[in-house]
Copies of this chain bind each other. A is one copy, B any other.
């Protein structure tokens, strides 16, 4: 730790349980499911945690609601996102009696923009890339004295995502390995803390897209590394950098981070479509991709793949099917 830097606040079991109590009433239950076809294919028991069927189509509502629902009702929150976080914040605000203004880059897909508006948010399309949308969000928030809901770099967000870890303690006590997609690291930070702090013995494996492996690079360097470029269709896990807070969680609680190629992601998406009848976005397929590619170390017992989201442009699916 450098001088003057705040020590990141690693979340506690108490914060996780408090988050679980808070978010439970607004979640759709997503109990783990055995996938017989994937189990046959990878020759180990595979369980799926189907967060693509969560409200808003991804796990992001968990962290967003844990954060937003603590703010005074009647107010307004701000966020920037090209996708799942936008929908999570929009629904969290709606459920909390608040307004939401969400800044999305102009290249955000129409279904995601429509869905965000569908949850009652005001959408502002600004900038070509996420960073420009985030700059605009910060400026708007500071102008109006509002709070920006961070996508991953926050203990309340991490604790919200970590409710998945607590659920896995109940739903898959026999799991030997838990495999989690990693972008900014909010999801794996929470899941890993939830499992470890509950003394669940599973190996915890993170999966990144080969073309956007900011967490792996940061782990190797021992500090947050910013990637110059990222290149993957898995837009849900493609930030240029993680945060000190999520890196700290991963250093403490995660056993290893592996990467998957675009072909491996595509193959996993098609397998999930054909065999699990599940529409999953590229990021959501990352854990399954790593399992199918044989990149996940054996932990004994079943492997749980967290299927983090299903918000995929159908035209991308169509292209993958045709390829």
Residues of A within 8 A of B (CB): 28, 33-34, 36, 40, 52-53, 55, 57, 111, 118, 270, 273-274, 276-280, 310, 314-315, 317-318, 321-322
Contact = CB atoms under 8 A, between A and B. Distances in A.
Contacts of A310: 277
Given A28-B33, A33-B28, A36-B55, A274 B111 contact: yes
Contact of A274 (B33, B274, B314): B314
Nearest to A311: B277
Contacts of A34: 28
Nearest to A321: B318
Contacts of A55: 36
Contacts of A278: 277-279
A202 to B, nearest CB: 23
Contacts of A317: 273, 317-318, 321
Residue of A270, A277, A310, A318 ringed by the most chain B CB atoms within 10 A: A277
25 contacts: A28-B34, A33-B53, A36-B55, A40-B118, A52-B277, A53-B276, A53-B277, A57-B277, A111-B274, A270-B314, A273-B279, A273-B317, A274-B279, A274-B314, A277-B280, A277-B310, A278-B278, A278-B279, A279-B279, A315-B322, A317-B317, A317-B318, A318-B318, A318-B321, A318-B322
A322 B317 CA distance: 10
A216 B273 CA distance: 33
Given A36-B55, A40-B118, A52-B277, 19 more contacts: A33-B53, A53-B276, A53-B277, A57-B277, A270-B314, A274-B279, A274-B314, A277-B278, A277-B279, A277-B280, A277-B310, A278-B278, A278-B279, A314-B321, A317-B317, A317-B318, A317-B321, A318-B318, A318-B321
A322 B315 CA distance: 7
Contacts of A28: 33-34
B53 A273 contact: no
Contacts of A279: 273-274, 277-279
A40 B56 CA distance: 14
